[in-house]
Amino acid sequence: MAQTTVVVPEVGMTAATPTACPCPGSLFPYPPPRAGMAVSRKCLRAAQAELGAGMFLDYDGTLSPIVDDPDAAFMSETMRMAVRSVAKHFPTAIVSGRCRDKVFEFVKLAELYYAGSHGMDIKGPAKSSKSKAKGVLFQPASEFLPMIEEVHQRLIEETKHVAGAKVENNKFCVSVHFRCVDEKSWGALAETVKGVMREYPKLRMSQGRMVFEVRPTIKWDKGKALEFLLESLGFADCPNVLPVYIGDDRTDEDAFKVLRRRGQGVGILVSKHPKDTSASFSLQEPAEVMEFLLRLVEWKQLSRARLRLRRQADA
Ligand SMILES: O=P(O)(O)OC[C@H]1O[C@H](O[C@H]2O[C@H](CO)[C@@H](O)[C@H](O)[C@H]2O)[C@H](O)[C@@H](O)[C@@H]1O
């Protein structure tokens, strides 16, 4: 059954209900006073103690700033360098609503894992990697490909009269963007999309940041993708592994919930505004995400150097 959603602007949907940080020993509640560096303490401690960690990063709004044109959501070269550096120390995955090929075109790092289409298209690193899950490929919604292609065409046809609307094919799901649509037409556009959805009971509609997202009703989301990746990486039952998931959107909440339920790792919400969230920490914007990643790398390098010195002294 197609899900119905109410159109709300992204700022308007915030709910000022800060969640207390669930991590024992962590220093700052959500949202921290100055999110930027506060958030990194627990992760840094892990890096320092030579514990393993896995980085799971959403793309839009997390690694790249939100822009009007989805095809122009480029990440900066410095952000790319930060992600590349972090991936040298921790297995790193991009978990995005975008089609996997498209997000790879933006990120351009072959050594990462990519989970595109909200986790419905997972692939391990192409480049030589020491990782256990190198050859992994998982597509739980492949039977929906023809239906998604059909609904994509239908949505293009049905929304072509709405100025500013843009339909994006994300392979196992479809996005209908309304960021550039006049606010007065949002309701009508939502009705049009819902009308098409009624013909496809095996698909459902949800709402992201100024976007309607159409996808299969299967029980698969970014949270399931995160669990799949943790399993593939051999991290599932390792208390000394600290997965870090960073994301800005409603769909990232599924991943935050997984971490909370498992009592493993930390979820970090990227938002300038307080929101209802299952994340434990927040960063305000992609620039802070970059700073956080670089700090993590710095501390990891420092801890390695410290360990080397200690070993030399003990020898
Ligand atoms: O899971 P994500 O990587 O965050 O992908 C979610 C959607 O991101 C993109 O749309 C969003 O970013 C666009 C570019 O900044 C912006 O114009 C749009 O309003 C946002 O919703 C992407 O285009 C969608 O297909 C993804 O589903």
Closest alpha carbon to 250 in 1, 54, 2, 15 = 15
DSSP annotation of 96 reads -
Give 173 Cα–ligand 1 centroid separation in angstroms: 12
Cβ of 73 below 6 Å from ligand 1: yes
Cis omega (within 30 of 0) for bond into 31 = yes
Copy the structure tokens of residue 173: 């799901």
From residue 120, give the alpha-carbon distance in Å to each of 112, 114, 215.
Answer: 16, 10, 10
Three-state secondary-structure class, residue 146: helix
Closest alpha carbon to 224 in 257, 268, 189 = 257
Atom of ligand 1 nearest to the CA of 252: 1
> Torsion angle of alpha carbons 101, 107, 113, 119, nearest 10°?
-60
Residue nearest to atom 6 of ligand 1 (CA): 97
Cβ of 179 below 6 Å from ligand 1: yes
The helix (H) or strand (E) run that includes residue 285 is none
Give 84 Cα–ligand 1 centroid separation in angstroms: 22
C-alpha–C-alpha distance, residues 219 and 204, integer Å:
11
Q: What is the pLDDT of residue 21?
A: 33
C-alpha–C-alpha distance, residues 217 and 95, integer Å:
19
From residue 146, give the alpha-carbon distance in Å to each of 176, 199, 216.
Answer: 18, 15, 12
Atom of ligand 1 nearest to the CA of 209: 21
Copy the structure tokens of residue 133: 């899950």
Give 74 Cα–ligand 1 centroid separation in angstroms: 12
Phi then psi dihedrals of residue 232, to 5 deg: -65, -30
- What does the angle CA 208 – CA 176 – CA 112 come to, to the nearest 5 degrees? 60
Residue nearest to atom 21 of ligand 1 (CA): 209
Give 224 Cα–ligand 1 centroid separation in angstroms: 20
Distance, CA of 254 to chain centre: 10
Mutational pocket test of ligand 1: of 211, 212, 246, 256, the residue with most ligand atoms within 8 Å of the beta carbon = 211
Task: Give the ipTM.
Answer: 0.98
Closest alpha carbon to 68 in 177, 182, 190, 173 = 177
- What does the angle CA 219 – CA 114 – CA 130 come to, to the nearest 5 degrees? 120
Q: What is the pLDDT of residue 242?
A: 87
Closest alpha carbon to 159 in 126, 193, 130, 198 = 193
Atom of ligand 1 nearest to the CA of 248: 4
Compute and round to an integer the Cα radius of gyration of the chain: 20
* Catalytic sites, residue numbers: 58
**H helices present in 49-99, as ranges:** 77-89
Would you write out the chain's pLDDT as a tens digit for each of its 315 residues?
A: 333 222 222 222 222 233 333 333 332 333 433 344 445 555 555 555 555 689 999 999 999 999 999 999 999 999 999 999 999 999 999 999 999 999 999 999 999 999 999 999 999 997 655 555 556 689 999 999 999 999 999 999 999 999 999 999 999 999 999 999 999 999 999 999 999 999 999 999 999 999 999 999 999 999 999 999 999 988 887 777 889 999 999 999 999 999 999 988 899 999 998 889 999 999 999 999 999 999 989 988 888 888 889 888 888
Atom of ligand 1 nearest to the CA of 99: 25
